[in-house]
Structure 1
C-alpha cells in the first residue's frame, strides 16, 4: 500500500490576498479524479494538515479539498463577513483560538452537528453539538537540557520560583514565555493560570526580576531553548514543544506537576457552508478513532477521544499524563469573557506591572 502522503496530488499552493491579509491556499485534487470540493479554513500549518487531508481523501477519493491556512482572527472574521454578505463560506473551520470559535457558535455562525462519536465525547469538549474540541494540548515547561546538567529542572511553579531565587546568574535573561499582548494562546494560558492559581502574580514578578524574555510564537521560544540562549520556557504549547524535543535532543519538556492547563483546537461547521454535508463528514472523521489516532500519533496534537487515549499516549508522544492535575479549558460561553476588552485590558495591565516590578 502506498503511503497516504503519496495518494493526494497537490495541484497548487499559492498565497492570496483575502479579508485584508495574506492567506496560503492549497488545492488537493480528488484522487479518483473529478469530484466535489470541500473547503476548509484552518490555523493548522500545511505540513501538519497534509497527513490529515490525505487520510480523509483515502476514505473519500471523490473529494477535492481547498485548504486555506489563515491566522485565527482572520479565520473568524472571514466566516462572519462572508456569512453576513449572504454568500457561502468554508465547509469546515478548525482553529486554535478556542474563544473565537465559540463566539462563532454562540453568535449563530456555526451549525449543530451530531457525529457517530458525539454521544461519547467528553462534556467539556462539546458545546451544544456545535463547537467541538478536537485536540488535547497541555501547557508545558520546556528547558535546555545542558543548562540543567546534574540537577532537576523545575516541575512546579514553586520549583521555578525556587530555581530562579537560588540561581540568579543562571536565570538572568534566560527565562522565556509568550508575549501575551501578541499571542492568543499565551493570553489564554495566563487567564487560566490566574483562575486556577492566585499566587501566579508572585511567579510573574519573580520572572520579571529575572529579566524574562517574551516572544509571540512558539518557534521563537523553542529555537532559543534549543541553542541555550534560554534555559527554560514557561507555559509553552505542548504540541510544538514535543515536536521540537523529538527533533532537538537538547530540548526537554515537563508537564507541570502542580497543575497543567490544557487547551484545544476547536472545529465547527459554519452555518453558511457551501457544502455542509462535506463539512460534517470531515468533522466526523476527525472525531473518529482513526482521526483521533492520526492527530495524536502522526501530528502529535494529542487525542480528546477517551477511547483513543486509552489505546495510545494521550500526550501525543510527550509523556504519560497519569497522576497530573489536568485542567482543560472547557468549550463553553465562559470563553467569551476572555474576549471582553475591559477584562483583557485589566489582565494585560496587571501582567505589565508584575513583569516590570511595579
Structure 2
C-alpha cells in the first residue's frame, strides 16, 4: 500500500531526528564533565553530585592519581534531580551512578532509608563520628556551620553581635542602623535556610522572639548565599543571619569588608552527604571514591581546596586553613545528625506549619 504524504515526510526526517536525539545533552540542569583516565584500563566511575564540577576537579584529580586507570564521568545535578534520577534508574533496572554526593541531607538520608543505598565500610568508618554515619550507608563528609556575616565598616570600633541575644540587643539599641539592613535566607525557597530555621526551633526556645525582632527591623530575605553576601560586601546589608559558613568564609577571604562570626551561644552545622547507590554499576569504584574522600588526603582537599570544613577530626580540629574556617574549639557546635530524623523536614504538613509560624513572627503576630 502506498505511503501517505505525512508518512513519507516522517520517513525522510527520521535520520535527522535520530541524530538529534543522539546528540541531545539531557536535562538543562545537568552538566556532564568527563575526566579521562591518566592511564586508562577501561574502568569508569559515574558520579552524581550537587558540587560544581570545577570545585570537584581537584578531588577527581587526586583520586585518579591513586587510581590512574579510572575515567570519571561527573554529572552536576540539582539536589532534587539527583535523588529522582537514582530512584528512577534503580526502579528501571538499568543501574545508576556509582557515587552520589549532595548538599540535601534529607534527600540523601531518604535514599538510604528507602533502600537505594548500599552499606559500605571504609578504612575510616570505625573512627567516623556517630552523628555523621547512618548504618554505613550515608556519610556526612563536610562540616558547614551557620554563621553571622557582617559588613566590617558598619561595626568599626565595636564588636558585632556574636550571639542571638547580642543580635536582639543590637536591633533594640540601634534601630536606625538595623532597619532594612539585616538579611537572611528566604526559607520558603532555600533548602538550607529552612533546615537552619528548623534546627534553631529545636535548639533555642527564644528563636521566635529573634524572628519577631528581625521582622520589626525590616529583615530582607534572599534565596541564595551569593545575593546576601554581595549586599553585605557593599554595605547594603549590615548583617546576615544564619548564612552557610563555607560560602561566607570564601567571600570574607575575597572581600575584606566581609566578616564572619560563628555564633557563640550555639552553632548549627550541616553537611554534604555521600553514599554508594544500591544499583551502582561499579559499586567497588564508588566505595573506593568514598574511602578516598574520607581519608586524611580527601578530607584535607575538601577543607583546604574547596574551603569546606572537614568532618574528619584530624582535619576539622585544626585551626587555620586546614580547617577551612576559624578554629572550632570551644564552640557549642550542633551538627544535624545523619539519621531518619531528617525525614521529618520533608513532611509537607510540618513544613507548611513552620513556614506559617515564620511568616506570622515576621509580621509581629
TM range (shorter): over 0.9
Structure 1 counterpart of 2:223? 216
Indicate how the Cα distance of structure 1 residues 173 and 16 shifts in structure 2: closer, same or farther if over 3 A, else same.
Answer: farther
Distance 2:308 2:25 in 1: 28
What is the alpha-carbon distance in structure 1 between the residues aligned to residue 259 and residue 121 of structure 2? 39
SS in structure 2 of the partner of residue 39 of structure 1: strand
Name the CA distance, whole Å, in 2 between partners of 1:216 and 1:274.
36
> 1:210 and 1:16 mapped to 2: Cα distance?
47
| 2:164 matches 1:187 | no
Q: Which residue of 2 aligns with 1:122?
A: 129
- Normalised to the residue count of structure 2, the TM-score between the two structures is 0.91
Task: Return the alpha-carbon distance in structure 2 between the equivalents of residues 15 and 313 of structure 1.
Answer: 46
Of residues 104-113 and 71-80 in structure 1, the stretch that sits farther from structure 2 once superposed is: 71-80
8 Å contact 1:25–1:67 — kept in the other structure? yes
- The match for 1:17 is 26
Greater strand share, structure number: 1
TM-superposed deviation, 1:17: 2.9
- Residue-by-residue CA offset, 1:17-54 (whole Å, 9 max, x unaligned): 33xx5211111111114531111111112221111111
SS of structure 2 residue aligned to 1:270: coil
The superposition leaves residues 123-176 of structure 1 with CA deviations (integer Å, 9 ceiling, x where unpaired) of: 110000000000111100001101111111100001011111111111111111
* Aligned counterpart, 2:176: 169
- 2:316 touches 2:323 (CA, 8 Å); kept in 1? no
Q: Distance in 2 between matches of 1:157 and 1:280?
A: 41
Find the counterpart in structure 1 of residue 360 from structure 2: 353
- Given that 1:15 and 1:22 are in contact with CA atoms closer than 8 Å, whether structure 2 keeps it comes out as no
Q: Does the alignment pair 1:288 with 2:300? A: no
Q: Provide the alpha-carbon RMSD of the alignment.
A: 1.5
The number of residue pairs the alignment matches comes to: 343
CA gap 1:146/1:292 in 2 versus in 1, 3 angstroms:
same
Check whether the contact 1:145–1:252 (CA below 8 A) recurs between aligned residues: yes
* Residue 261 (str. 1) matches residue 285 (str. 2): no
In 2, the alpha carbon distance for the partners of 1:219 and 1:309 equals 25
Q: Is the 8 A contact 2:211 2:362 kept in 1?
A: yes
User: What is the TM-score with the length of structure 1 in the denominator?
Assistant: 0.93
Where structure 1 has 5 or more consecutive residues not aligned to the other structure, the ranges are: 1-13
Deviation, structure 1 residue 355: 1.2
Structure 1 contact 315–321 (Cα < 8 Å) conserved:
no
SS of corresponding position for 1:112: coil
For structure 2, which runs of at least 5 residues remain unmatched after alignment?
1-22
Does structure 1 retain, via aligned residues, the 8 Å contact 2:183–2:222? yes
Which one of the candidate residues 332, 338, 343 is aligned to 2:350? 343
